[in-house]
Structure 1
């Protein structure tokens, strides 16, 4: 991927699934850039935080096999309406990834649910449904999900994570850098792509795609 990728905020609204009042987490333009850069037609793309299925829809458009994990039943149903019968969608907690029979993966591309280090009692990994949020625990469990996904990567395969550094008042949670720091002892860090939004989200101090490779 190029070091800077220009994105349009309007696409987040335009690409909402039918009947949803919630924006997608990232646009198809981002998914296309990542999947084109780090996988080949016929290969398998995994998204362990599938959301509304953007990455899986684009993976199929580009001739890849799509595998997703999503916790929220309504989103799983929405994904299944958007992809073919060949796609594999697990309704499951990404933290239970090791219990799923995923087979070999060529690319894992995802954007996890975000959490700030301050003023955030909701737990992102329960779809914000519980009030047991703790940033250090969240980061450790998130790292566990990514390492479990990396276990299924073929040698030479890529893990690409869309993550932002998030501003709360005058405090910035360096989520993207915390994820990088947690994963670099285990995977080769190949660099970051800066996502240059035409209208940046006001809570972001920076938005990135972080690229890791299984040696």
Structure 2
């Protein structure tokens, strides 16, 4: 069996599970559903987390929980506790993201898709974890890259419709607004603007670029 896996953080799980686009994303990267992994704490956060309940409709969260139930959770800690501790000690990287980054650094066949832009920039620019940054560079998939893939695959209008109930997310609300979704060209131009800004902040080599 292939050792390729796609790790997904909880923010991205909400966006892809809530929009019903997770299967399209997995297919775009040639992953099977059984090759996806999420944080073990994700379902509890979704059920009890006030931030999610205050941000998204109950129908969206129910869809996300259904998607989460179909994804195997990470139950084993990273093999290198030193790397995990180093990541978790840095302001801007929470424990969940630290676990995902540490796992990513240990396995060359793993990819990570995350909606935590602050954590991405922190990892990419912190000298304390420069070695880990080097190991994961090119295998980190941000939200803008996901949206770009979906618009190319399904078109701007269909993608915007899928994410309509998730427009309370700031980036989604801007990049998939009715104005932006009026044409694929306009939508992709906006996405590229955000993506290029993040590339400038993290370095040319850090993010996976579709």
Q: How does the TM-score come out when normalised to structure 1?
A: 0.35
Higher RCO (CA 8 Å, separation ≥ 6 residues): 2
**Bigger helix share:** 2
Q: Give the TM-score, by structure 2 length.
A: 0.35
More strand by share: 1
